[in-house]
Amino acid sequence: MNAVRRATDRLRSVVAAGRARLVADRTRTEGATATGDRGNAVVEFLGVALILLIPLMYLVVLLGRIQAATFAVEGASREAGRAFVTAETSAEGTARAGTAVALALEDQGFDSADGSSALSLACSLDPCLEPGGEVAVQVSYAVDLPWVPAFVQGAVPLAIPLEATYVASVDQYAARRP
């Protein structure tokens, strides 16, 4: 029985020594964390925010503007074609198409857009509103990059050009119009 007691005592002493070493390691580690690493999380967060989050937010804003401009140019070309082919005269159709382009661009938040300067019309027949003819409408718009200063124009483009084309058919059974 003495041998069993000695083995048990020895096992208890080994376990106690292991616990003491574990407690000492924890104390040493916690002490270092409590004094030497204080404030590092804030610095690391600011570093990640500056390096990753700010460019990511810029990219989200830029892609949102490009997507809005894409919707605007597509809708503008379609509506300008429809407005042109339903007009009574070519002059009235050109005015209506310019108004449709300006309205579609303003609808997506591009207020500085001039509808007639972004619009180009091409007719397959002469006169333009000849029954059975087609009118190709092209709308072009350049999306300005937000927050890019003008002095970097040589290295970075300051605008992204977008364009959309729509071909509208003049009603084949309509009366001839000038």
Structural domain boundaries in the chain = 39-169
Average pLDDT over the chain reads 85
Percent helix, percent strand, percent coil in the chain, to nearest 5:
55, 15, 30
Give pLDDT tens digits for 77-110.
Answer: 999 999 999 999 999 999 999 999 999 999 999 9
Banded pLDDT at 12 (limits 50, 70, 90): confident
> Which residue did the predictor score with more confidence, 34 or 69?
69
Question: Distance between CA atoms of 44 and 50, rounded to whole angstroms?
Answer: 10
> Which residue did the predictor score with more confidence, 131 or 28?
131
Query: How many of the other CB atoms lie within 10 Å of CB of 92?
Result: 16
pTM of the complete model beyond 0.85: no
- Whether the pLDDT of residue 18 is over 90: the answer is no
Question: Distance between CA atoms of 70 and 160, rounded to whole angstroms?
Answer: 11
Banded pLDDT at 19 (limits 50, 70, 90): low
| pLDDT at residue 35, rounded to an integer | 58
CA quadruple 89, 95, 99, 104: dihedral, nearest 10: 70
| pLDDT at residue 11, rounded to an integer | 62
